[in-house]
Amino acid sequence: MSRSNVNVRPSILVRRPRAEVAAFMFDPANDLRWTGGIRSSTPAEPGPLVLGSTVERTARFLGRTFTYGYVVTAHRPDELVELKVDRPFPMLVRYELGDAPEGTLVAIHATGTPGGFFGWATPLMARQVRRSIAGDLARLRACLEA
């Protein structure tokens, strides 16, 4: 039986320059301000994410609290950070920034294959991940445009 994937890429326009968005978004010190469900975010090293950075987070998702880590597997300053996440299921999460006439187009692209507890409900998971990321993007915009 093949498992289906989660593959979502919500985006939003933030009316701030790309470098300003990246400085805020790519710094784990700001995670609790814009990332929903996060109870703690502890980078191995302080400062903005770079290739090889690791961060441990505690989060609540779909009624469960868990701790997970991620490692930065790709990085282009002011443009892209890719995170390899192990929980709630293995995922790649890409923070993607692009110039737009009125600011910065921000997208979060999450792909993965749920298993275990989450595997039986992949369509539900995809909707929930999309909703969660869209909420994160709205909070990010509110933080940066305030």
- Whole-model pTM: value is 0.89
Per-residue pLDDT of the chain (146 residues), as tens digits, is 344 588 999 999 999 999 999 999 999 999 999 999 899 999 999 999 999 999 999 988 767 788 999 999 999 999 999 999 987 678 899 999 999 999 999 999 999 886 665 555 667 777 888 999 999 999 999 999 99
Answer whether 106's CB lies under 8 Å from 120's CB: no
For residues 60-94, one letter each, b for 16 or more C-beta atoms within 10 angstroms of the residue's C-beta and e for the rest, the string is ebeeeeeebebbbeebeeeebbbbebebbbebebb
Ordered by start, the domain boundaries in the chain are 6-145
Answer whether 83's CB lies under 8 Å from 73's CB: yes
- 6-145, what's its fold? Alpha-D-Glucose-1,6-Bisphosphate; Chain A, domain 4 (3.30.530)
Q: 29: which DSSP letter? A: G
Rounded-to-integer distance, Cα 120 and Cα 128, Å: 14
